[in-house]
Amino acid sequence: LKMNPPIRYQKDKEILWKRLHDGTVNCIATDHAPHTLENKAKGFPHAYSGMPGVETSLPVMLTHAANGECTIEQVVQWMSSNVAECYGMIGKGKLEEGYDGDIVLVDLKKELLVEDKNAWSTVGWNPFAGKTLVGWPILTVVAGIPVFERNDSTGPKGRCIVEPGQAGSPLVMTPWN
């Protein structure tokens, strides 16, 4: 699957881990490029670049933590506090007075098989389909308002609790840090 930058070889993965651990790379963020498999199969250079990744990015990293490749605290830094600082996201990245109160509660023992049928992406596929990941969000809170839940009654996909636009506010950002 074509994506940029490409992470083709084991050496690429090892260097990324090394740079995360030594602080050269201090945050993990992902865009969401939901292209159909048909568009992805067009062959180089015509294949669309990118893939759906937002909905599994946290469980992927928590699976790495469960496997001993990093700590949960590092995942929080790399995917929350450092991202907010790096991108100048005012009111984000911390649970402190004056901040927005965004939080994701995770069941660190919850293992789920990634299946395309549970994808939230409109393209209906996930690059991690067939893999079992651990550490799934069970509740997402935006500006103090619960917006998403995953439990026995919702099934593995989970469900939105509020309609789009009913929680949070436009993101205020300062120049790149």
Active site residues: 31
Residue 43: burial class (beta carbons within 10 Å; 0-12, 13-18, 19+) = exposed
Whether the CB-CB separation of 40 and 47 falls below 8 Å is answered with: yes
Where do the H-state alpha helices sit in 43-149?
54-66, 72-76, 82-86
The C-alpha atoms of residue 160 and residue 154 are separated, in whole angstroms, by 10
| Sheet architecture: strand order including 145-149 | 103-113, 132-142, 145-149, 159-160
State the Cα–Cα distance between residues 26 and 21, nearest whole angstrom: 8
